[in-house]
Amino acid sequence: MATKMTRTARAELTNAVRRRYGAATGAEKRKFLDEFIAVTGYHENSAIRTLNAVPVAETRQTRVRPSLYDEAVRAALIVLWEASDRVCGKRLRALLPVLLPALERNGHLHVAEPIRQELLAMSASTIDRLLRVPRSAARLKKARRTTPAARQRTPVRNGL
């Protein structure tokens, strides 16, 4: 009985033996087959089928989920984020029930009821995810403002 092998180890072994098995003569094939069966624990017919098969490159299965939040929700979230002085998602999530009615009351933001429900139901991590692009753009603007010439104009007192 063969010991347990991981799927990737078995695939690597199969690919290594497959090349030599295909180029071998009848007696050599028998030797390769016996060794392969001893290591993997495959049945003989299964081992022959595996070694004669054309190698298939495994591709990772990726899922693309549809976005739950559209651009209207993202735009309203950006307005709320700017109004809250660009706080993190966790703090913005706690501020939303207070900030959203205040901005609407003062005429700074007008959102439909479905958008309001989506904003209030949004988690802090989703807020951070939706604000990733505007946050990085804001960081780039902030980084450009600081120049060496601007720092040199600031007088420094040495205490003398």
pLDDT in tens, 134-155: 888 877 776 665 566 655 666 6
**CA-closest candidate to residue 104, choices 126, 121, 80:** 80
d(CA 77, CA 79): 5
Contact predicate 33/51, CB 8 Å? yes
**CA-closest candidate to residue 101, choices 111, 92, 114, 91:** 111
Place of tokens 């495959």: 42
- Per-residue pLDDT of 69-116, as tens digits, reads 999 999 999 999 999 999 999 999 999 999 999 999 999 999 999 999
d(CA 57, CA 153): 61
Spell out the domain ranges in the chain.
Answer: 7-52, 71-144
